[in-house]
Structure 1
Amino acid sequence: MSQNRALFDIKPVDDSGSLDVERISAVQPVVNLAVARRRAATRRPAPRTQTKRTALSPKLELPPDPMNNRGVREEFESALNENTDLHLELAKFGVAHRLARLPDGQVGKPRYKPILKTHNLKPITRDRQGDSSEYEAILAEIHRSRSAAARAPEVSAMVALAKPVPSRGEQPAVQSGSFVAAPTRTSLISKRRPKTKSRWLSRRTLVISAIAIIVLAALIFSGWGLKRYIASQGESAIMELQNAKADLEKMDFESASEDFIKAYQNFAKAGDGLDFMGATISGLIASLPGGSSVKSVQNLVQIGKLLADSGAAMTEAAKVLANAGQLSVPGSAGEATIPSVMMKLHRALAISAQDIDDIKALLADTDAGIIPSDKKEAFQQLSALVPTIEEVVGQGADYAKFFADATGQPGTQRYLILFENSSELRPTGGFPGSYGVVTFKDGKLEDFFVGDVYDLDGQIKEPIVPPGPLRHITPDWGMRDANWFADFPTSARVIKDFYKMESGQPVQGVMTVNPSLVTDILKIIGPVAMPQYNLTLDADNFVPTIQNQVEYIADRTQPKQVLKDFAPVLLEKLRGADSNQWLAIFNSVIANMNKNAVLMYFDDLSLETFADDQGFAGQVWQGDGDYVMPVISNIKGSKGDAVTDTSFSLETKFEGSDAVHTLTITRTHNGGQNKYAFYNKRNPAYVRVLVPSGTELISIEGNDEPNFQPLLNYAKAGFANNDTLLKWETSAVKDTSSGVTTYKESGRAEFGFWLITDAGKTKTVTLKYRVPNVAKGGDYNLYFQKQPGLIVKNASIKVGDPDASVGAGYSFSGPLEKDLPIKIQLP
């Protein structure tokens, strides 16, 4: 008799038809499903298996029960086992429509066991209605612990013996090379059960499991108060983001990094309540009706992770600038270059900016409904903060790359810097009594030289005719007065020509620097001692002290020597600056560029385009619509603009499609009794008001008409003419009755007149003019451009009727710190 032990689904008999007791007694509680020879063509072959003996029910090493709260588990078990009206229960969660896919009246609970992939068995299609794959995935995931999700249960190879042959109405769960948990029946006897019962049990299993998931989600978000917990942690995170915004505005990346990390920690706490479910199951719940709370919390957790990553990038940015001081010393040794440092800074900030952009997208996809009403304001603040932070960080990244490109060209790059003194106003910011030349070679600072502009101007061999308003104070034109044009690119090209003519060297760009940048830097790094002059220069005394030294104390043969000596001392002080100070300096430079205290012009088109896009190229605005720009030039008024207050008032009315403006310029000279004599002198100013081409001057009141005479007869002197200046001069049309000269510059009309203010006095000039065809088509646009270097403490602008219906007027009152674009909808 064969020693093979087998499992029978019928009683064995011998050749005589009697029960074969010996074969029956040989059956053991071990299954051997080795393939036997086919005895009948209609019999299904059993799959070939191993012959190793093992227990039928191997002990599986299961992960710990995540629902370790006894009360919650008991409530959960009760919910699973009670008789339930499915329509009523599912209606509570808004998913009753899913019953349309399920048979009625099914009750039961599933059993689960490991099923190994089988290649020999062909799945038999279910004869059921609907697809339960979504719920099967949920059921499978419930039994995966987050700590054990990546490992399969340790089961001996003979677990395969426990695998049943599928019968009709069943489909084996097949998954490549791994165990999965799926509902199925386990039996020692391969006896078929009624088809209807199998379908009834499985359907009930799926429905109850779906209810369990929804009830579980409801317990988490309602019964456990997770919503309020998330909101409280989110509010703390928002406070940290507000701190980060303030730090970023100061370019304090190190502090901003700490704020981001604290915000992350608070957001991360909000997600702890979801951790036990695992990423996959919470994702599945989020896709179900009513699952938006889960998705929103997942978003908040992800926001926290992005904040941490952004904070790490900020830390890297701070480290990059930690050694920036070494780069400020001309000819310094070492492999680091300015472009390499700036590109590292750019990359760090770009990573942070991308993280913040992702955060903005997650916030837009987060349901504010999960936030309690008393916390909604904090959530809204978060949504409002992120775009601002993104803008600040993105701007820092862009500027870092710009500085890398400006200093990192192969070979030698030489830039001319004009130190313009806004105490003596000129069209692009101030009179440039001193200049500097900064030289970069292969990305390293090679030289920084400071000189007196009059030293260069003395090298001109062929004198050039100066602008008309200057001819009574200077016989010729030089680089000192070459910033005559309101359009900085135009002035910069003239300045370049003068510098090459006077020095013999070309430059690749021109920059202007207002003293406000130097005073801002001194606020950061502290005072600079100059013992040879018995001076200590700080942010408060820098401008008047240097001016006093140059005007009255210095050797008259070298009046600007104090500035030449100040430059290397300042660079040495910068060398010792720490990372936080360099971050503040970086921010200060950008801030001064944004308010036109620093202007730049480049031969390189990409650099000039960036300057134009960011607004520090200083060009006359060329957009459509109405336009006005008052420009003041101090002509032999010493340093009086430092103590002269300037205010503007503009009232605009509409007559048909024309705009009729009344512009009032008021200047109050507060000098006269100052200890510095250069603040007590008369302040003659030549004012030009740029307006759209075709503008008609209706009237002017209060302007001066002095009888200034040129120092030379230029027709007989044989001086050369500058082509750019000659074009401006030949466009001039003077109205002798009003004392106004009309020019053309940069596509604009320009009204020029004198406004002379004595010390201790106030002077006002009022112009009335008409701009045709700018108030039509429903919208009206006016661009008020501010002159660089000019401080406007008060500006009053009224367009149309500000008190009328919405969109019919515009009103502004306050300091004018930058250009002001105005747009209104006409009635």
Structure 2
Amino acid sequence: MDRRSNPPRIRQTWLRRVFWFATAFMVWVLSSFGLWLYSAYQVSGLLKLSQTDVTSPSKIVDSLASASTHARRVSIFSDLTAIQLATHVPKIGDEISTARTLSHAAGKLSDVLATGATFGKSVYSTNAQDRLFSDGRINLELVEALIAKEPMLAAAINDADWILTHDECSGSLCSQVTDLHKKIEKSKTLLSILEQSMPAIPPALGRGKTSRFLITIGNEAELRASGGAPLSVALLEIDNGYIKVSKMGQISTEIFPGNPKISWQHLMSEPFVSDPLQPIKFVNANMHPDFTIAGEEIVRGWQANGGDTLDGVISIDSTALANVLEQTGPVATPGFGNITGENFKQRMLIDSYRQLSNEGQRQNINNLIGQALISRATSSQFPTVLDALLATAPGRHIQIHMQDVNLQVLISTLHLDGATPDKRAEFGSDLIGLYSKNRNQAKSDVFQKRQIIQHVVLHKDGSADIERIIKVKNDVPPGVSGEGTIGYTTVLNSSYWCSYLPTNAEDVTMLLPDGYPNMALYNNGYQSKLAFTRGGEIKPGAEVSMTLKYRLPAGFIRNERYSVAFGPQPIANPVVLTVTVEYDYGTKSGQIDTLIAEQSMDRYVELSNL
């Protein structure tokens, strides 16, 4: 055999080995990158789901659990040798290094995500032993176990923060590092608040004492500035986690018969009360637009009337109740049919005052619905009721006021405190807030249709001229009867009106319909003034217009950036909002920017031209 033929065979064998080695190497590299990228994709997608799919809380819980698992994996996979070697490859190495930074931070946050999933599963679990609430009792042991994890969560968040702060960042992924860092900073703030409030949570749930919370049912057909008049209430008592309703009924006939005027030390001042001890009825306790004030007034008014000492107030209105019935099913009533989420406002806020023969019959039906709400909230339907209520929170249809300062800070952080826009807006913002109080005991506020059209002209010196046109229509449907000018059955609308504007607003004027009293200005004590008018009447089908004008002084607008915060009053029909900004200087002279156009607004919102 010719030995000269061996070298080609050797070369072929060597080439095959190189080929298979290269193939194996590429499979190894691609597999490493595949596992890493897949886990990173899963974390990103699952976290987006947990933030947006509020219609399916169980999906949120599942997504947090899966995100926790993938966050651990993405951190582990980022340390695979193939990934580490790739950081030295020109051009793409910096991107991979930054991606590894994100991966390591995600790994540190995996325990935080897992704890969120654990809490979520406790709310929605079908297993009574693992459930946060079961058989009329809050699982205090589970609550305390979750509270005990706070130091671990703080350490994990701080570790992730350290990684994002100290690891070098370059390439297109730096923006994601910055975004994650901002979210972690917010998480640290929330965790700091949780750390302060956590010791107060078990006592609030009845550990070592009996806690009492007043639930007020606000009637949006008869408005107070912070929501519907509190015509019905239920007193919840919590003892060692066990919940019971110790008192329930209508204020004027069952709780405080005759609804007398009582004196207490007011937190609110003019224009709502003229004297710090002015006697008022309990049903007027929530006259102030800001529930952080109105909630405290309810507490003081309740106790001044001889009620038990309260740990807090939870205000729920017709919109919130309707959503609960929409999610949990109708309530059958004797002689008045089924009350559903769809027909709740029509039947309870309109028909009941015209079709039921006496006040006692109407109040019995109100009590039936209240009892159904409490029964469902203290049963296996608790998660569904909770979701239904919280879904209405942006419009302030559920508002909470706590007596414990640290718990109130937590409630405010979660935006459940019913605060007006001056409490939430960044410093230097313009303010839009329109609030009314019924003044003729009518149930006609349910027909109100409101529109706010705000036009802003910006000047070179940083000043601005504001024109706010407020339109209110008493949109009574055809066939709805009414009589007289005062009382339950009139369809005449008569209200006080209160508008928010910044403290340093100048040259404030208000053009009002004929017969309306002149506007008066009041300092609200925060970064706001109140433009207040005792108003007048709006006949059925009629619309009135009120035009508020003011000037923001030179220097108020900085770097050409105009910002405005809008806050809603809890009402049956959300405000339709339009805001436009015009420039009268420079290259933008004559330009008009539309920040929002004819949009129904049932939530707090911040708008800006930049």
Scaled by the length of structure 1, the TM-score of the pair is 0.56
SS at match of 2:446: helix
- Matching residue of 1:742: 521
- Are residue 439 (structure 1) and residue 439 (structure 2) matched? no
- Matching residue of 2:341: 539
- Matching residue of 2:492: 682
Unaligned runs of 5+ in 2: 1-12, 483-487
Cα-to-partner distance string for 1:701-749 (whole Å, 9 max, x where unaligned): 342426xxxxxxxxxxxxxxxxxxxxxxxxxxxxxxx722333433543
Tell me: CA distance 1:477–1:668, structure 2 relative to 1, closer, same or farther (3 Å).
Answer: same
- Are residue 604 (structure 1) and residue 404 (structure 2) matched? yes
Residue from 793, 798, 805 that aligns with 2:580: 798
- Are residue 569 (structure 1) and residue 382 (structure 2) matched? no
- Determine if contact 2:225/2:286 at 8 Å carries over to the other structure: yes
Residue from 620, 626, 645 that aligns with 2:449: 645
1: distance between equivalents of 2:215 and 2:64? Answer: 38
How many aligned positions are there? 563
1: distance between equivalents of 2:357 and 2:131? Answer: 31
Structure exhibiting the larger radius of gyration computed from Cα positions: 1
Name the aligned partner's letter for residue 239 of structure 2.
K
Name the aligned partner's letter for residue 760 of structure 1.
G
- Matching residue of 1:74: 17
1: distance between equivalents of 2:62 and 2:152? Answer: 13
CA shift, 1:795, in A, is 1.0
Residue from 293, 296, 310 that aligns with 1:507: 310
Aligned residue runs from structure 1 range 568-647, under 5 A: 568-577=371-380, 582=383, 584-620=384-420, 621=422, 624-625=427-428, 626-636=430-440, 638-647=442-451
SS at match of 1:424: strand
1: distance between equivalents of 2:568 and 2:134? Answer: 31
- Determine if contact 1:439/1:445 at 8 Å carries over to the other structure: yes
- Determine if contact 1:688/1:751 at 8 Å carries over to the other structure: yes
Unaligned runs of 5+ in 1: 1-69, 79-215, 370-375, 707-737
Tell me: CA distance 1:393–1:76, structure 2 relative to 1, closer, same or farther (3 Å).
Answer: farther
Aligned residue runs from structure 1 range 759-774, under 5 A: 759-773=540-554
SS at match of 2:510: strand
SS at match of 1:609: helix
- Determine if contact 2:262/2:280 at 8 Å carries over to the other structure: yes
- Determine if contact 2:395/2:568 at 8 Å carries over to the other structure: no
- Are residue 820 (structure 1) and residue 601 (structure 2) matched? no
2: distance between equivalents of 1:71 and 1:517? Answer: 76
- Determine if contact 1:420/1:515 at 8 Å carries over to the other structure: yes
1: distance between equivalents of 2:335 and 2:158? Answer: 53
Name the aligned partner's letter for residue 634 of structure 1.
N
Name the aligned partner's letter for residue 347 of structure 2.
T
- Determine if contact 2:286/2:294 at 8 Å carries over to the other structure: yes
- Determine if contact 1:233/1:267 at 8 Å carries over to the other structure: no
Aligned residue runs from structure 1 range 7-22, under 5 A: none
2: distance between equivalents of 1:463 and 1:267? Answer: 60
- Matching residue of 1:90: none
- Are residue 691 (structure 1) and residue 487 (structure 2) matched? no
- Determine if contact 2:452/2:577 at 8 Å carries over to the other structure: yes
CA shift, 1:614, in A, is 3.4
- Matching residue of 2:470: 665
Aligned residue runs from structure 1 range 376-415, under 5 A: 406-408=204-206, 410-415=208-213
Q: Quick one: percent identity of the two aligned structures?
A: 14
CA shift, 1:789, in A, is 0.5
Select the structure with the greater relative contact order (CA < 8 A; seq sep ≥ 6). Answer: 2
CA shift, 1:515, in A, is 2.1
2: distance between equivalents of 1:404 and 1:641? Answer: 40
2: distance between equivalents of 1:628 and 1:704? Answer: 24
Greater CA drift, 346-355 or 815-824? 346-355
2: distance between equivalents of 1:246 and 1:692? Answer: 33
Aligned residue runs from structure 1 range 33-432, under 5 A: 74-75=17-18, 220=25, 225=30, 229=34, 233=38, 237=42, 240-241=45-46, 244-245=49-50, 249-250=54-55, 252-253=57-58, 256-257=61-62, 261=66, 285=85, 313=115, 316-321=118-123, 322=125, 323=128, 327=133, 332=136, 337-344=138-145, 406-408=204-206, 410-432=208-230
Name the aligned partner's letter for residue 684 of structure 1.
S
Tell me: CA distance 1:698–1:520, structure 2 relative to 1, closer, same or farther (3 Å).
Answer: closer
- Determine if contact 1:286/1:293 at 8 Å carries over to the other structure: no
2: distance between equivalents of 1:703 and 1:444? Answer: 54
Tell me: CA distance 1:662–1:298, structure 2 relative to 1, closer, same or farther (3 Å).
Answer: closer
- Determine if contact 1:314/1:349 at 8 Å carries over to the other structure: no
- Determine if contact 1:264/1:303 at 8 Å carries over to the other structure: no
- Determine if contact 2:53/2:59 at 8 Å carries over to the other structure: no
SS at match of 1:563: helix
2: distance between equivalents of 1:349 and 1:387? Answer: 20
Cα-to-partner distance string for 1:649-670 (whole Å, 9 max, x where unaligned): 1112246554322110012232
Tell me: CA distance 1:639–1:494, structure 2 relative to 1, closer, same or farther (3 Å).
Answer: same
SS at match of 1:422: strand
2: distance between equivalents of 1:703 and 1:642? Answer: 22
Tell me: CA distance 1:776–1:519, structure 2 relative to 1, closer, same or farther (3 Å).
Answer: closer
- Determine if contact 2:481/2:491 at 8 Å carries over to the other structure: no
1: distance between equivalents of 2:568 and 2:263? Answer: 27
CA shift, 1:574, in A, is 3.8
- Determine if contact 1:779/1:823 at 8 Å carries over to the other structure: no
Structure richer in strand, relative to its length: 2
- Determine if contact 1:670/1:761 at 8 Å carries over to the other structure: yes
- Determine if contact 2:33/2:83 at 8 Å carries over to the other structure: no
CA shift, 1:507, in A, is 1.9
SS at match of 2:305: helix
2: distance between equivalents of 1:384 and 1:437? Answer: 44
- Determine if contact 1:654/1:660 at 8 Å carries over to the other structure: yes
CA shift, 1:755, in A, is 4.9
CA shift, 1:692, in A, is 3.5
